[in-house]
Every structure is written in C-alpha cells, then in structure tokens.
Chain A
Amino acid sequence: MVGENGAGKSTLMNVLSGLYRPDAGEVWIDGTQVHFRGPGDAIRRGIGMVHQHFMLVPPLTVAENVVLGREPTRRGLLDLEAAVDQVGETCRRFGFKLDPRARVEDLSVGSQQKVEIVKALHRGAQVLILDEPTAVLTPQEADELVAVTRSLAADGHTVVFISHKLREVLSVAERIVVLRRGRKAAEVRASETTAEALAELMVGESNAAKVASQGARAPAGPVALRGEAIDDGVAVHGVSFTVRAGEIVGIAGVDGNGQRELAEILTGLRPASGSLRLMDTEVLGASPGELRARGLGHVPEDRLLRAIVGPMSVEENLALGRHGRPPFARGPFIDFSGRRAHAASLLESWDVRPRDPSQRIAALSGGNQQKAVLARELDADPKVLVVVQPTRGLDIAAVRSVHERLRAHRDRGAAILLVSLDLDEVLALSDRLYVIFGGRLSVELAREDFDERRIGRMMLGAT
C-alpha cells in the first residue's frame, strides 16, 4: 500500500488492527465478517500489526518481549526457560536468526523489527501488517526484510506492506493499492506498473489547476532570510537557500528527511554550523527570543510540545512570545484587560471555538488550537515566518482560510518559509520550492517548473 503522508494509510491499518472502529464499512477475514472491539479481538483473529515505532521493552530479552502478555508459567511462576524454548522454536520455523536471550536494547534496529514480526507470528498471526517497515532501516536491512516478507508470503501468510518507497513496494508486492486523500486511487499489479506511474497516482493530477489559478503577482523584494551551508552533522547537510520579502518558499519532502531539524535550526532551537542571515544580520546561534525580537515568527510542527502551554488559558497562550509588549503588558505588569480584549478579537477574527479566552487551551480541539497558534504568530506581523505543517489536523474550510491568510501575509511583504509534508499544500502556496531528501536541498524550482511528477520523484530520492 502506497500513499503520501496523510493519505490515510495508518488510519486504515488501525481500523484493521482494531485500534479504531470504522464509522461505516465492513471488515472480512477468510470469508467471515468481523467486528473488532479492540486490538485484542484483531490479534485473536490472526491479525498482527508491526508499528512504525516499535512497541518493545528495551531492557527485556527477545524471548521476554515476545511472550509479554501471554507468558508461559509453571505452578504459577514465570517460566522463562519455556519462553526461550518457545520463541527459539518460532524463530527457527520462520527462519529468523535471533537469539532469544539477547536484550532488545542491544540489538540493531533491523533486528528489533524482526522481534516485532516474531512477536506477531508467535501469537499466530496469519495477516501481517507492516507500517512503513523500512523507514528506519539501512538499505541492507531493508533488502533482508523484503526477503523475509517474500518467504512469509510463500509460506501462506498475508502481508500488507506499507511504504512510500516505490521501488521497495514494486519488489515486494504482488498487488499495489494507492491511497490518495483517504480514497483508493488505484489498484494495480506490480508486474504491470512502473515507479513513475505510481508516483503520478500517489500525487494526483489535480494540482495543475491549482497552480494555474494563482495568477500573476508582484515580483518578490530583497532577500529576507538567507541560509548558507547550514549543517548540524546529523540530519541537515550543507543546506543553502534564500527567501525574499513578499514570497512563499516551500520545502517539500517525505517525513524524516531533515526538514524538522532544519526548521529547528532556523528558529534557534538547534545548534548548527554555517550561516543564517535574517534581514542581513547573522543570526545562526541566536536564541529564539532574539530571533523573535528581530521579526521572526514560528509556527512549530509539534503543537502540543512547542506551540502551546496546555494547562494555561487561551488568552495566556495567545500572548506567549509577545507577553512582554503592549497590549499584553504594561511595564513589568501583565495588562489583563488589554490581553483579554486582544484575545477576544483574535478568537473572533480567526473563528476559534469556543470563544472563551479563559478556557484552558488543552480543552480545545486540535484544529482550534492550531488556529489559535496561527492567529498568534500572524498577528505579531513577522517579517519572516517559518511555518511547519500549518494545516495538519484542520478541516477543509480551515485549511483554505489558513492558506488565504498566509498568502495575504506574503502580499503584505513578508517572507514565508513553508515546510510541509503535504505536497499539495507546498505546490498550492509556494512561489518557489526546494525538495529536501536525506538532509540536502535540491536545486530551487520556480513556479513554472512545478511538475508534480518530477517533484514526487525527487522527494523519493530519484533524480
């Protein structure tokens, strides 16, 4: 199963593994309709899910992890020897080379993933769901996983292999289902398709119209944010880019290619080498507070961790970052009436619900929290704005309104750097874009060069 981030792959699999209940539709196993009330039901019916993030207890051994939840006992006492024997037997039967006595935290990521698969098989799984299993693996480990998957299928197991690496899917699968925006876009035989055709199906062809509808606009102004050879030695490698006043520059890419770290570097949250000039002043290494004072706004990706203080009220959160200035403060004192009035007007104009500034922000829905964050950041009228995933979790009307406001902010002369995993969003908003892959930026693409097929291939590492 392939699809872009947010296409609905994980949600669908969570339905199959009993974590979510479908609002409508049916699930059938071996000709029987089933109704899962929880993951336990799905496991009993032979469905084994291997999550992208491993569900293992690192200090325990392989055998202990595998039997966890159904441990063998003798006279009421835990029988670890029996566990080791049983798990060893399962490993032999399915051809996994794993030492049941090894501690999970000592294993490589690839081996840890095998433990997850053995865990599912040990519980009698007939249907294995692997959610982006190769995302964390080295190429060699990935090849090995593909071989393991093939042999399980040859053995009579059903395997659902989720990925957005097209080559892998082509080499591992018989049939490929393409999801796009929560719908099945296509189902093709692997032998009858190509990576290019799949990329096109994944991205969709609807973007061409949106690109055209942008129309002509005033040329961009001077460079407001310039990065040169930015490198953190871990996730970001020699990144150089420019963002001019009055333009939106997009960074497209598949999750985990360094875009999160790049955004953290640009907003003062992560150290790096190189050069970053904000309005012609070197600011690499400056604190988030200094950057804000120099006119940088930031809509962080991780809303609950970085953008809001959950136990505080909506109005306190709306003041955060500007809480030292009027109308939020007078001298060293908080200006309660000014803060309240300003919050009320922001809630009104951004249609944040409920309209109660004294409400704890944690009690708001995710979409309303995000609207509050965007309201706060745009209201500060930053000269340069770094936005990461601005519309994740918002409904369609809210997405449209956020996009309009970002464009309006650009048209007022701001420079906006948009980092998003949603290619449609990057294509719809950006005046120029870069593709990030493996921590490196591609050459910049101007709007007339926006070719989703080509960009899709670049996002997947093909050139």
Chain B
Amino acid sequence: MKRVFHGALPSLLSIALALAICFVALALSRSDVHLATDAYAQMIFGGVGDFPSFTESGRWGVLTRPWGESTSRAALLLLTGLSVAVAFSVGLFNIGAQGQMTVGALLAAVVGAHVSLPAGIHPLVGLLCAALAGAAYGSIAAVLKVRRGVHEVISTIMLNWIAVNLIENWLVTGPLRAHSEGTVSIAGTDQILPTAELPRLLSDGSRIHLGFPIAVLIALALWAWLSRLRHGFETRAVGLGPEAARTAGIPVERRIYQAMALSGALAGLAGGVLVLGTEFRFPAVLGAPYGFDGIAIALIGQNHPIGVAVSALFFGILRAGGTRMQLLGVHKSFPELIQGLALLFVAARYVWRKLLSGRAARPSPRSSEVQRA
C-alpha cells in the first residue's frame, strides 16, 4: 500500500499543484479570491453533487445529475486513456486513439441507426462493432511498424487525419448523411434507434449510463491481465526489452499486434459509448478530442490501469464541474487548463522523484547501455 502511494505521489502532487496554480490565476484575473473559491465550489457541486441544494430540497436528482455528467465524460476518458496505456505496455506510443475512436463512433452510429435488433443486445452489438472497427484501424499502425519499421507516432497521427477527413468530410456529409425530415435538413448521420441507446442506470433525470461501469470493469480486467496473467507478463516484457523477450522465446510481433489491436478496440469502444450513450448519432463534426485527452489521462495515471481509472474519474468530474463554473463567467476551457498543467508537471516526474527521494534522478542504466550497443 505504501508502495502504491509512493508511486502515485508524483501524479497527485502534480494535480494539486495544477489546481493551486489555477486557483491563484483565477483569483488574480479578477482580483477576487471569493470568485476563485466560488468557482471551485461550483466545480465540486457540478461534478460530484450539489450538496447545499440537496440539504435544502432533499431531492436526490441534484446529486445524481452531476454524477451522470461526470461519469459519462469519465467513461470516455477512461477508455481512451486505457487505449494509450495498453499500447504503452508493449512499448508503443499510440497517438491514434482519436482516429480509432472516430472510426468506432461511426460504426456504432451506423449499427445503431440501420440495424434492427432487440433492445437488450442492440447496444452490445453496437459497442462490439465499434471496438472491432477501432481494433482494425489500430492494427494498421502495428502492421506498418512490424513489417516496414514505420514509427507508430508518425503513422497514427496520419491515420487520425485520414479517419477524421474521410468520415467527417465525406461519409457523414455524403453517403451517410441523415435523411431530411420534411424541410428541416439535419447535419450528421441518422439518429440511432431507441433500442440501441445505452441503458440509463437511474430513472430520474440523471444521464448515468452503462458506459462508466463497463469502462471500470475493463480497467480492472486490464490490470489483472497485465499483472496476473502470463500473456500480460509477456506483453510487458516485449515493451520493456523486446530483444530479451525475443531471445526468451516470446513471439514479439504477435504480442505487438495483439496489444495494438486491443488498444484500438478500447479507443473504438470509446467512440461507441460516445454515440450510443451521449450523442445518439454521429454529428456533423465530432469535436470531442477524447482520443487526445486519453494521452494525458494515461500519462497522469502513469499508464497503470487503476491509475488511469482514478485520473479519468477525476478529470471527468472536473469537466462536468467546469460547465457549471461558466455560470460565474469562468471560461469552459478552464478544466482543460488544469489538465494540461497537471500533465506538464507529471512529465517532469524526474524532478518529483528527485525532490521526493533527495537522490539525483538518473536515466536508467539500461537505456544508455543499449544505445552504446
């Protein structure tokens, strides 16, 4: 337990520092400490529940509605964060979660709108198709990497643009554009059928849907896979020492393909959850950069499935609460500012380690030896 805490400390301190700096900036910008305090209070009310209003009115809705907003955002951040973390475990930096998510979102929108299925299995089929589409799209980068030595950062960035342009500038405005209803022309694809919507968990106004529990279960499964299963051990060995893994008889290429397909599947799943849980169609412009946010979430969670889950939940709450801060005239990008600062501080984790342990931070001896070899 102590070890877990020590490992998470740089991330926790980074987030605390980011919150503190933003608090000061907010107070200075209006020369008003009360505004900053109010804004942070609103963030909590909007993110985890409006407690003062609950004690006044006793209505549960003021508590559950914020949770709906937080968890639906957290689900997407968690899935894309896990996508990045899984690729990282095999040593790849998947910048392409955005593209894989977009492909998944489109597939979910198509299956949701144009395939008739019973309510119980329709969302599951939609999510499965989204995951498969993301996996296929992610696998392109893995094949290019293994067969042709194309660096995955380059290929996934390019694949992002291909996915976004192909889908938003052609499919969604062309072949898959929604049929107009009367004289009203609608941008984006058709609305998904009601059977395809992710079930809401509460009958009140809260938008808590099945996406978040699914994402949390996946995070736990991935944690078990990476730390408890032979297959996960092999995957980590490939990520940390590919040549040693090969010499030990581990099929390195196969593990890379599998991990990258899984990474793409998770990002695709995020797209499916976005469409079936929140958007209910593929809009004209997706405009939801959760794939890129996933990189930040994974790094702040130190690529550990549980760390990613905690970090996704935290920033989901922050995002949901941030909407409410707008009531006080604080710009809605404020939570992203906090996230960006936290990422910046996490990136400087060698400095944290040095401060925390009092020892000089050194790059691992291994990397320098390998370079020499």
A interface with B by C-beta (< 8 Å): 267, 269, 287-293, 298, 300, 302, 304-312, 316, 319-321, 323-324, 329, 332-334, 362
Contact = CB atoms under 8 A, between A and B. Distances in A.
Given A269-B246, A288-B248, A293-B249, A362 B240 contact: no
Given A309-B241, A320-B237, A362-B365, A304 B373 contact: yes
Decide if the interface of chain B is mainly helix, strand, loop or mixed: helix
Contacts of B365: 310, 362
Interface of B: 227-231, 233-234, 236-237, 240-241, 243-251, 364-366, 369-370, 373
A307 B233 contact: no
Contacts of A292: 248-249
B243 A306 contact: yes
A298 B246 CA distance: 12
A289 B249 contact: yes
Contacts of A267: 247
B366 A311 contact: yes
Contacts of B230: 323-324, 329, 332-334
5 contacts: A309-B241, A310-B364, A321-B247, A324-B230, A332-B230
Contact of B229 (A288, A300, A333): A333
Contacts of A334: 227-230, 233
Given A307-B244, A310-B240, A312-B240, A321 B369 contact: no
Contacts of A309: 237, 240-241, 244-245
Contact of B228 (A269, A287, A333): A333
Nearest to A305: B243
A289 B241 contact: no
Nearest to B231: A332
Contacts of B250: 289
A324 B248 CA distance: 11
Given A312-B240, A334-B233, A302 B373 contact: yes
B251 A287 contact: yes
Nearest to A302: B373
A379 B54 CA distance: 66
A287 B249 contact: yes
Given A305-B373, A309-B245, A310-B366, A323 B251 contact: no
A333 B231 CA distance: 8
A416 B249 CA distance: 19
Contacts of B248: 288, 292, 320-321, 323
Contacts of B373: 302, 304-305
B245 A298 contact: no
A289 B249 CA distance: 3
B370 A305 contact: yes
B364 to A, nearest CB: 6
Given A287-B251, A312-B241, A362-B364, 9 more contacts: A269-B247, A300-B247, A305-B369, A306-B243, A306-B246, A309-B237, A309-B240, A310-B240, A312-B240
B10 to A, nearest CB: 17
